[in-house]
Amino acid sequence: MRFLFAHARSLSGHWAGGLTAAGLFALNPNVLYLQATAMTELLLFACAIVALHYLHEWCAEGRIRDLSLASGAVLAATLTRYEGWILFAVAAAIVALTALRRHRRYSHTEGSLVVFGFVAGAGVLGWMAWNLAIFGDAMNWKSGEYADSSLWVADGEANVGSLPTAMETYGLASLHNLGIATAALGIAGLVLYAVHKRARSRWLVPYAMLVFAPFFVWALYTGERPLHVREVMGALYNVRFGLIMLIPAAVFAGYLIGKLVPLLPGRRVAAAALAGPPSSAPRSPSTAPSPSTRPSSTAPADGRPTTPPSPSGCASTTTAAPRS
């Protein structure tokens, strides 16, 4: 939550944006459910959010420390789920494009890619090396006996070979996971972000997570993974694949709220009410009483001391002693 809050606040420039993004993610019922199970999706989400935060900081500020931290987060994502491999490819493309636009030299681009890829890609290479050492095939994770998609994709799957059906299925799965309100805020925030930032290299990172939508549509279309929704297949299965779209939806919704809050008409009124009534203007020196008009402190002629007024402002009732 900390990194999601920081990422959305950095994009929108307002704490309300960070709070909105963190709240939409943390309070999502499907996230609350998954965090109580032994599934690995939330670990992947955590790694992806940390990677996005530090990668955006590197794109904005150019600090090598941020690029190194982003590469470590991507490494953890690639060792968690295969979706992390897609994140690695997209992040590497952003690093290359940003470095090329910033320095206009291939040597600097190559250096940035080496710094990022040496750590971020180690998980992918390590997993292939393990498959090669154990099974004699570096691609056994894809073509092995227990990796055949026919083990879980049934014959006659509606999504296989039908791109419109695959798109509809994944769209409905994402909508069921996000909810109508979050999805609407996310789409509106995406449009506003695209209008404000467009495709400048400094602001490319928030678009990265959107690539998972076409990735999963392709997986459904080619029969690599099954996903069922009631509207298409009459049942629910693997609907959790759509939950990853909550990350970009929360970020863009936070951007939208962060930009709208400072424009609220009642914001200044509320701030003035909290500040209290205005203080009275100080008296100018010209209106201060002159020494000649100040009350005289001269003692009476008979030598008796003057009794000061009581704290309540009334004159003292003490009587003087009789004269001898």
Contact in structure between 209 and 52 (CB atoms under 8 Å): yes
Per-residue pLDDT, 203: 87
When pLDDT is cut at 50, 70 and 90, the band that residue 290 belongs to is very low
**Alpha-carbon distances of 120 from 53, 113, 261, rounded to whole Å:** 15, 10, 37
Overall average pLDDT of the 84-96 stretch: 96
Q: Check whether 159 has a pLDDT greater than 60.
A: yes
Per-residue pLDDT, 149: 80
Q: Check whether 293 has a pLDDT greater than 60.
A: no
When pLDDT is cut at 50, 70 and 90, the band that residue 284 belongs to is very low
Q: Check whether 263 has a pLDDT greater than 90.
A: no
3-state secondary structure of 142: helix
Per-residue pLDDT, 272: 52
Contact in structure between 225 and 151 (CB atoms under 8 Å): no
Q: Check whether 152 has a pLDDT greater than 90.
A: no
When pLDDT is cut at 50, 70 and 90, the band that residue 322 belongs to is very low
Overall average pLDDT of the 70-94 stretch: 96
Phi and psi at residue 237, in whole multiples of 5°?
-160, 130
Report pTM. Answer: 0.79
Q: Check whether 285 has a pLDDT greater than 90.
A: no
**Alpha-carbon distances of 78 from 7, 122, 189, rounded to whole Å:** 21, 9, 29
Note the Cα 176 to chain centre separation in Å: 21
Q: For 185-233, write each residue's pLDDT tens digit.
A: 999 999 999 998 877 778 899 999 999 999 999 999 999 999 999 999 8
Q: Check whether 23 has a pLDDT greater than 60.
A: yes
Overall average pLDDT of the 133-137 stretch: 93
Per-residue pLDDT, 310: 45
Mean pLDDT computed over every residue of the chain: 84
pLDDT above 90 coverage of the chain, percent: 65
Strand partners, 63: none
Overall average pLDDT of the 287-314 stretch: 45
3-state secondary structure of 230: helix
312 burial (CB, 10 Å; 0-12 / 13-18 / 19+) is exposed
How many CB atoms lie under 10 A from the CB of residue 82? Answer: 14
When pLDDT is cut at 50, 70 and 90, the band that residue 267 belongs to is low
Per-residue pLDDT, 227: 93
Q: Name the residue with higher pLDDT: 304 or 113.
A: 113
